[in-house]
């Protein structure tokens, strides 16, 4: 009975998070724009020089507010931002521009962003998520601290964030879910996994809008960008881009 209750609560929380991500596309949010200094590092674990390719096609790098960060599921998302120029400080945020989420702003409220550049002040902004302009680039992968008995995998350069990641287990003929971490990776959260993990292996990625793609990861190499067969989530006509 306890297990069923916990499973049900987990499912409700997962559903709320999924809907929260989609709401970032369907709604516009008002908040504050601030500055926290230039830099490419951050909570989302995109250490230089390996920022995902799509980041170079956006105007600014940002830290997203804590309520809409969703435990780092928002890492790698893209936002359209409009600055009104109203606020206080020496460097007003004005006009419309695009941003890439690479960090968390712990003290920021919903609708707010912290710009990864030098500046001063707190300015009124409006934000809305957009599908990332990935062009013809594909989803990438990166391992951290992994071996054939423990996997910690990052999903990079996705048009829409993945909210579920699974790996196929050939011995047991089933898909096993990976658990999301607060620093933007996916790890095995259960001991019920075929070990050792043999490469290449298949991963199944489910986007926030429900689309599912299957890809192959050819090798296990830590701290290196890895390319699979070349899949990408489709452009969704119902979401801003």
Asked if residues 164 and 177 have their Cβ atoms less than 8 Å apart, the reply is yes
The CATH number assigned to the domain with range 140-227 reads: 2.60.40.760
pLDDT digits 0-9 by tens, 122-170: 999 999 999 999 999 999 999 999 998 899 999 999 999 999 999 998 8
Average pLDDT, integer, range 191-204: 81
Q: How confident is the model at residue 3 (pLDDT cuts 50, 70, 90)?
A: very low
Asked if residues 63 and 77 have their Cβ atoms less than 8 Å apart, the reply is no
- Topology (CATH level 3) of domain 2-130: Barwin-like endoglucanases (2.40.40)
For the chain, give every residue range classified as CATH 2.60.40.760. Answer: 140-227
Determine if residue 120 is left, alpha or beta; phi over 0 gives left, psi from -120 to 50 gives alpha, anything else beta.
beta
pLDDT digits 0-9 by tens, 26-37: 999 999 999 999
Angle at 102 between CA 54 and CA 175, to 5 degrees: 80
Asked if residues 104 and 41 have their Cβ atoms less than 8 Å apart, the reply is no
Asked if residues 151 and 198 have their Cβ atoms less than 8 Å apart, the reply is no
The reported pLDDT for the residue numbered 190 is: 57
3-state class (DSSP) for residue 95: strand
Residues in the chain: 241
Average pLDDT, integer, range 27-51: 91
Per-range mean pLDDT, top range of 3-17, 72-86, 168-182? 72-86
Q: What is the 3-state secondary structure (H, E, C) of 127-194?
A: EEEECCCCCCCCCEEEECCCECCECEEEEECCCCCEEEEEEEECCCCEEEEEEECCCCCEEECCCCCC
For the chain, give every residue range classified as CATH 2.40.40.10. Answer: 2-130
Q: How confident is the model at residue 14 (pLDDT cuts 50, 70, 90)?
A: low
> What does the alpha-carbon distance between residue 101 and residue 116 come to, in Å, rounded to a whole number?
10
pTM: 0.90
């Amino acid at each position: 009975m306890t297990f069923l209750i916990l499973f049900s609560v987990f499912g409700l929380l997962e559903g709320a998070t999924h809907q929260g991500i989609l709401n970032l596309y369907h709604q516009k949010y008002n908040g504050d724009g601030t500055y926290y200094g230039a830099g490419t590092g951050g909570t989302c674990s995109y250490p230089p020089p390996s920022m995902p390719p799509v980041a170079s096609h956006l105007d600014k790098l940002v830290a997203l507010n804590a309520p809409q960060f969703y435990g780092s599921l928002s890492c790698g998302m893209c936002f359209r931002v409009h600055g009104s120029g109203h606020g206080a400080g020496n460097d007003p945020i004005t006009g419309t521009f695009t941003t890439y989420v690479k960090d968390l702003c712990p003290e920021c409220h919903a609708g707010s962003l912290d710009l990864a550049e030098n500046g001063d002040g707190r300015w009124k902004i409006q934000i809305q998520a957009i599908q990332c302009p990935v062009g013809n680039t594909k989803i990438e992968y990166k391992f951290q601290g992994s071996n054939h008995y423990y996997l910690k995998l990052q999903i990079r350069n996705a048009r829409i964030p993945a909210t579920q990641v699974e790996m196929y287990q050939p011995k047991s003929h089933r898909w096993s879910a990976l658990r999301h971490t607060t620093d933007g990776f996916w790890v095995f959260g259960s001991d019920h996994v075929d070990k050792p993990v043999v490469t290449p292996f298949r991963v199944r990625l489910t986007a926030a809008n429900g689309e599912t793609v299957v890809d192959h990861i050819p090798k296990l190499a830590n701290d290196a960008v890895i390319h699979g067969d070349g899949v990408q989530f489709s452009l969704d006509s119902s979401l801003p881009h």
